[in-house]
Chains A and B, each alone.
Chain A
Amino acid sequence: MLEIAIKGSKKYWIWLVVLCAVIGAGVLVYVDQFINGLMTTALSRDVSWGFYIANFTYLVGVAAGGVMVVIPFYLHNYERFHRITILGEFLAVAAIVMCLLFIIVDLGQPIRMLNVIFYPSPKSMLFWDMCVLNGYLFLNIVIGWKVLEAERNQIKPPAWTTPLIYLSIPFAIGIHTVTAYLYCGLPGRGYWLTAILAPRFLASAFAAGPAVLLLLCYLVRKVTKFDPGWEAMQTLAKIVCYALIANLFFFFCEIFVTYYSQIPGHMSHIDYLFFGLHGHNTMVPWMWTSMILMIAAAIMLVIPALRSNYTLLPYICGMVVIGTWIDKSLGIIAGGFVPSPLHHVTEYMPTIKEIMISLGIYGTGLLILTILYKLATRVKEEVRG
């Protein structure tokens, strides 16, 4: 099936070359980081995780969001999702590969990373995160590939894929739950120490994942002859709508508990994010932008006329993606680390090098996504003749 990927138009090849250039630039900068250490980043003693872990967290969400098409299709036989399920699964594959790359570039000693397997530590949430992320990646590659191959040969997928598909559902929930547990089980970090963190992560994931998928549907419609189906896209928009509202609701629950209880250790972090602390307010414009984008998008998605407006919908999805990205990437990291456990305010903004490496990883993800989507759409075009 892979032979499909090496046959393409001129535009397809130009796109691949552009991606390779972005990846190449990222690799070059990474060589510098590998040789000189993480001094190339803006990370510090007080803010010890940054842009890499932030994007990792977001992309785990995008990967988990794929389950929002798997559940309706496989558990409820929602036929309209038949065409886009494979897109959801392949999106998850690309997102998980990016997650793993973000973890690797964040390590101080990447060549030792197999120590996580040589000295397995079940008490560490990072150990479990490794297990579920790799498991989910494996499941999605196998399921996506087998189902697509079967479709190409116009036969039923092998029976053993069914239990794997069912297994992938708890795994999807699992990857984001465990990722939230990385943060919310730490005793000294008031912003993270909340039971609502995992539900909030899932809600924002189920908004962001399908929103990205919707944007990809638009793209697929434009550049291929394959049509994911407007009704399926409308259902996706409804999923984004409800998940986004749940995400906002969970956040307001957090705000209520924090500001009604008035416990300083919890308030200081949200104060920093939304109002600034001791004159430090780098995050303030970002956080309000995020809130406005998410609230506006939620309102627009609730109103049927706006949600079903073909021209408007991709813009709303863009708002959801950017809003949740700021909230979950920048917000979670900056809010968690500032102020520090000793109540010092050390701010963080990524360096150009960090951003270049991150773009390289996004380029890798897009390359994988392009190839997988090329396979999927081509097979679907073939089958429909």
Chain B
Amino acid sequence: MKKSRRSFLKVAGVSALGIGVAPALKAVATASASTPSAAVRTKAPEALEAKRWGMVIDTSKITDEIAEKIVLACHKSNNVPDFNHEPDKEKYPNTRPVNHKQELKWIWEEHFNNAFPDKEDDFLANKFKNLPFLVTCNQCKNPPCVRVCPTRATFKREDGIVMMDFHRCIGCRFCMAACPYGARSFNYRDPKPFIAKIDPAFPTRSKGVVEKCNLCAPRLAKGLQPACVEVSEGAITVGDLEDPNSEVRQLLGEKYSIRRKQELGTEPSVYYIM
């Protein structure tokens, strides 16, 4: 209560100073008065929880085949459109041709030099040169995308997951400019014609909003592992970075790992065991 009142006063003061728009004040007042506890109470008993979710990718366990499986499983379970999919002509007549530069992806393969451009090296160990490096949203502890969002449509949950509210996003794409990992995609068009089979467990998006990996938060809430973890054959592990006994912490304690663009201070929560 104390915290929400303080943040309310902060925002209210600034709003009054800057714009003095009455609906804004009203919106903030109702938002901070009613939201905090409601969400916590609805948690299912089987839900997986963490103080701060993190992901560890064991690069030695990833082959091209596994990487492909992971990407496919993720995109299927989250209704991410595939621009190579031929739209159903009856359901979606007159679908215009796609521009592959406008594709959407939540997790995908990159070469080491692209995943870690700051660690580019002519004499990189051979085994890393052709290894597929899976890249995705880093669920940063200090996320620039959240800082720049003008509507708070993208936000960081208390458990560290950076989420999107697809219904509040105005599609300004400031978050895409801010993300140093290229993790975000924009729906330049209606994605539905390019989803082979819509999974009703997760909403499809409309055109004009940004999306990205949410660590399968809806699955975690049901006690399920993220889709990528499930098919990764042990290559990807998610867990609580703040818990010293968690599996992710044990992996990090045993082996040398790196993170992407650590020098930017975004504190990525995705680790790569080398």
Contacts and interface: CB of A to CB of B under 8 A. Distances in A.
Interface stretch (B44-52, B56-64, B260-268): B260-268
Interface residues of B, number: 64
Nearest to B144: A187
Contacts of B10: 122
A354 to B, nearest CB: 12
A109 B102 CA distance: 17
Contact of A124 (B19, B150, B209): B150
Interface string A172-187: 0000000000110111
B114 interface: yes
Contact of A186 (B102, B144, B172): B144
A120 B189 contact: no
B82 to A, nearest CB: 14
Interface residues of A, number: 54
Interface stretch (B71-79, B123-131, B175-183, B251-259): B175-183
A124 B147 contact: yes
A48 interface: yes
Contacts of B110: 342
Given A44-B101, A124-B148, A342-B135, A109 B170 contact: yes
Given A112-B170, A131-B18, A340-B182, A37 B187 contact: yes
B151 A115 contact: yes
A265 B190 contact: no
Nearest to A186: B178
A219 B246 CA distance: 73
B204 interface: no
A96 to B, nearest CB: 16
Interface in B167-208: 168-174, 176-182, 185-190, 206-208
A133 B12 CA distance: 20
B24 interface: yes
A107 interface: yes
B103 interface: yes
B88 interface: no
Interface string B199-240: 000000011111000000000000000000000000000000
Nearest to A346: B101
Given A108-B209, A113-B170, A346-B101, A123 B147 contact: yes
B163 interface: no
A37 B14 contact: no
B99 A44 contact: yes
A182 B173 CA distance: 12
B66 interface: no
B149 interface: yes
A175 to B, nearest CB: 14
Nearest to A114: B23
Contact of B170 (A48, A107, A186): A107
A45 B170 contact: no
B158 to A, nearest CB: 18
B99 A46 contact: no
Contact of B171 (A46, A107, A125): A107
B97 to A, nearest CB: 10
Given A112-B168, A124-B150, A341 B189 contact: no
Given A39-B96, A109-B170, A117 B23 contact: yes
B27 interface: yes
Nearest to A45: B185
A336 interface: yes
Interface in A25-81: 36-39, 41-46, 48-49
Contacts of A42: 99
Interface in A86-140: 103, 106-110, 112-113, 115-128, 130-131, 134
A48 B24 contact: no
Contacts of B179: 188, 341
Nearest to B171: A108
A189 interface: yes
Nearest to A128: B18
B118 interface: yes
Interface string B4-34: 0000001100110011010110011001000
A344 interface: yes
Contact of B186 (A45, A115, A265, A340): A45
A306 to B, nearest CB: 41
Contact of B188 (A39, A119, A123): A39
B162 to A, nearest CB: 14
A343 interface: yes
Nearest to B101: A44
Contacts of B188: 37-39, 41, 43
B173 A108 contact: yes
A115 B181 contact: no
Given A45-B182, A120-B11, A342-B114, A188 B168 contact: no
Q: Which 6 A-B pairs have the closest CB atoms?
A: A108-B171, A188-B180, A108-B208, A44-B101, A37-B207, A126-B150
Given A48-B186, A108-B186, A126-B174, 4 more contacts: A108-B208, A116-B150, A119-B31, A120-B19
17 contacts: A37-B190, A45-B101, A107-B170, A112-B151, A112-B171, A113-B170, A115-B151, A116-B151, A117-B19, A117-B24, A119-B153, A120-B18, A187-B144, A187-B180, A188-B179, A342-B114, A342-B115
Interface of B: 10-11, 14-15, 18-19, 21, 23-24, 27-28, 31, 96, 99, 101-105, 110, 113-115, 117-118, 120, 135, 144, 147-153, 168-174, 176-182, 185-190, 206-210, 261, 264-266
